[in-house]
């Protein structure tokens, strides 16, 4: 099953890339003319929107399956170590995880780049992120620092939620600048006297949590709506899982 999954996934991905390139070559001019020269802004906003959807899905999935994923990964590692499963099984699991995260990184890096961040800053942030992630992973692997899984997932969930909300607000801002959204376009406040967008701290907060010194009403609405959607979906999913576990335990005791 795993071999078939990997093969089909690879072929479908290659076919999708080829079809996408062909469609872009055939219809690029027509697509650009449909939006009166604002096709780049629409593309950027769309990519940010896709990134937001993926982040929302990631948060909801982690809230409901994070512990299960850790348990299953440990079980696969033990099975390979004890000889019950081939080493290829662990390689496939790790490879698919790395591939998925790599695709998400590319998408999110593009989303950050289209918000106005300079390529040099994006490259430096990427390198520092890889280095920090590798160091933390090594520390956790060696057991030098014991971090509870629950606390780790909770912190990651909060960071991803704020990142998704910030990207949603930036997507709305791009659409407003391009003229696609006209309502609630006036700034609600101006905090540039306290923390400017172009300062070092302001740029970091803009990347991490979507900070803007002069946010429009629609940007604030998109930010709050994204946070609300993540919280509501996470609670709904967790509630269903809790009910399913209670029902299963009730059937066992009956």
| Rounded Cα distance, 211 and 191, in Å | 10
What is the rounded distance in angstroms from the CA atom of residue 212 to the CA atom of residue 10?
40
pTM for this prediction: 0.63
Structure tokens at 161: 């939620």
Question: What is the end-to-end Cα distance of the chain in Å, rounded?
Answer: 36
28 in a structural domain = no
Domain-located, residue 87:
yes
Distance from the Cα of residue 67 to its chain's centroid: 19
Which structural domain range is residue 107 located in? 38-121+147-240
Query: Of 243, 240, 212, nearest to 60 (Cα)?
Result: 240
Dihedral of alpha carbons 13, 18, 24, 26, sign: negative
Q: For each of the chain's 254 residues, which pLDDT tens digit applies?
A: 444 444 445 445 444 544 444 444 445 455 555 555 566 677 777 777 777 887 787 777 776 666 666 666 667 667 766 777 666 666 676 666 666 666 666 666 666 666 566 677 777 777 777 787 777 767 766 655 566 666 767 777 888 888 888 888 888 888 888 777 777 878 888 888 888 877 777 777 877 777 888 888 899 999 999 999 988 888 887 777 667 666 666 665 65
Using alpha carbons, select from 157, 204, 197 the residue that is nearest to residue 63: 157
- Residue 51 near residue 111, CB atoms below 8 Å: yes
In a domain, residue 168? The reply is yes
User: Does a structural domain hold residue 158?
Assistant: yes
Give the model's pLDDT for residue 90: 62
252 domain-assigned: no
Domain count, the chain: 1
**Does the residue 138 lie in any domain?**
no
Neighbours of 230 (CB within 10 A): 24
Query: Residue 12 falls within a domain, yes or no?
Result: no
């Amino acid at each position: 099953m795993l071999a078939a999954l990997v093969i089909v996934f690879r072929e479908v991905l290659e076919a999708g890339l080829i079809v996408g390139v062909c469609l872009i070559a055939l219809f690029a001019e027509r697509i650009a003319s449909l939006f009166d020269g604002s096709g780049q802004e629409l593309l950027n906003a769309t990519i940010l929107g896709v990134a937001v959807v993926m982040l929302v899905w990631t948060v909801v999935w982690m809230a409901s399956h994070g512990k299960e994923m850790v348990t299953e990964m440990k079980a696969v590692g033990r099975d390979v170590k004890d000889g019950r499963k081939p080493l290829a099984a662990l390689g496939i699991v790790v490879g698919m995880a790395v591939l998925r995260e790599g695709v998400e990184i590319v998408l999110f890096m593009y989303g950050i780049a289209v918000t106005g961040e300079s390529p040099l800053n994006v490259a430096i942030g990427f390198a520092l992120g890889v280095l920090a992630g590798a160091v933390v992973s090594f520390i956790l692997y060696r057991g030098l620092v014991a971090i509870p899984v629950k606390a780790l997932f909770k912190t990651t969930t909060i960071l991803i939620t704020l990142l998704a909300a910030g990207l949603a607000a930036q997507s709305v801002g791009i659409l407003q600048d391009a003229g696609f959204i006209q309502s609630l376009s006036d700034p609600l406040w101006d905090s540039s006297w306290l923390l400017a967008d172009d300062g070092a701290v302001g740029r970091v907060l803009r990347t991490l949590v979507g900070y803007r010194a002069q946010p429009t009403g629609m940007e604030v609405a998109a930010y709050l709506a994204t946070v609300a959607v993540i919280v509501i979906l996470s609670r709904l999913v967790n509630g269903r899982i809790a009910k399913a576990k209670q029902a299963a335990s009730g059937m066992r005791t009956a």
